[in-house]
Amino acid sequence: MRRSTSVPILAILLLAPVTAWAADQTVTIDNFTFAPKELTVAAGTKVTWINRDDIPHTIVSSDGPRSFKSPPLDTDDKFSMTFDRPGIYHYFCSIHPMMTATVTVR
């Protein structure tokens, strides 16, 4: 009988970077941070931000020209953007500019 020396699939999934292909993705806003801070998706993916913080936040493209900008989001409010073109999209909260993150579209 032959023994398998392969790594369990769950271990591979837990160690993999946050990359998504064609499935909608969610970014959570909590404690003055975007999570995940770096997200990689396929072109055509819809990303939805959900504010779980108890104060308002925004999602604003920091690249010129600005490709997206949300209104202020109160607790549990959502904002969605579909990323159709490959590229690196940097964004921040215009109320709290130290909050930054990136969506990479492949």
Which domains, and CATH codes, for the chain? 17-105 (2.60.40.420)
> With contact defined as beta carbons under 8 Å apart, do 34 and 27 qualify?
yes
Q: What is the pLDDT of residue 8?
A: 53
pLDDT for 45-103, tens place per residue?
999 999 999 999 999 999 877 889 999 999 999 999 999 999 999 999 999 999 999 99
27, amino acid identity: V
Residues shown for the chain? 106
Q: What is the pLDDT of residue 10?
A: 44
Q: What is the pLDDT of residue 35?
A: 98
> With contact defined as beta carbons under 8 Å apart, do 41 and 21 qualify?
yes
pLDDT for 10-28, tens place per residue?
444 444 455 445 589 999 9
| Residue that wins the pLDDT comparison between 59 and 4 | 59
Cα–Cα distance between 49 and 35 in angstroms, integer?
9
Per-residue pLDDT at 31 exceeds 90: yes
